[in-house]
Amino acid sequence: MRINIKVGPSDEDRGPAGRNPSQPRPTARKEKIYLTPDALLKYFITDDEPINSLIVFKNTEYNLVTSDANLYQALGSIKEYDAFRINKLVKLLEVVDVFSTRQAGRQKLILKDERVEELRKLALKTAEK
């Protein structure tokens, strides 16, 4: 599983240019964690503790981000025999910022069986450790 982390201020951390010095400073910079398709799939079909904790407990130290294409790949890789619970999807949509792949200037790829198997191997391999 790969989780990309980008260190930098979030949009909420940027305050008005003429902030009054007596006002409290904005909160510390939040790291962005980009959730990959295999990380999302792992969250959906396993009870992997680190990723579940990030999403379920709505960690305030990080901004969780993914794309609609990543979400599409993860959901499309779920098999009927997996232990997928819809409430996990609902919680993810509550906590994670999902951006549009097309608005970012990229095309969504068609999900093929080879990609599904690759994602499942990545998600389930790391879940077994």
Whole-angstrom distance, CA of residue 84 vs CA of residue 123 = 14
Q: What pLDDT, on a 0 to 100 scale, did the predictor assign at position 7?
A: 43
Q: Give me the number of domains the chain comprises.
A: 1
pLDDT of residue 122: 94
Distance of CA 16 to the CA centre of its chain: 29
Give a yes or no: residue 64 inside a domain.
yes
Tens digit of pLDDT per residue, the chain (129 long)?
Answer: 555 544 444 444 434 444 444 554 455 677 899 999 999 999 999 988 888 888 888 767 889 999 999 999 999 999 999 999 999 999 999 999 999 988 888 888 899 999 999 999 999 985 555
> Is residue 101 situated within a structural domain?
yes
In this predicted structure, what is the pLDDT of residue 54? 85
Residue 14 lies in a domain: no
The helix (H) or strand (E) run that includes residue 113 is helix 113-128
Answer yes or no: is 70 within a domain: yes
Specify burial of residue 111 (Cβ count, 10 A radius: 0-12, 13-18, 19+). Answer: middle
Residue 73 lies in a domain: yes
CB 96 within 8 A of CB 64: yes
Domain that holds residue 84: 3-7+29-128
pTM: 0.73
Quote the pLDDT of residue 15. 41
pLDDT at position 1 is 53
On whether residue 16 sits in a domain, the answer given is no
Q: Which pLDDT value is given to residue 11?
A: 44
* Three-class SS state of 4: strand
Residue 100 pLDDT? 93
Q: Is residue 12 part of a domain?
A: no
pLDDT of residue 37: 96
CA distances from 13 to 4, 41, 63 (A): 20, 30, 11
Residue 17 domain-assigned? no
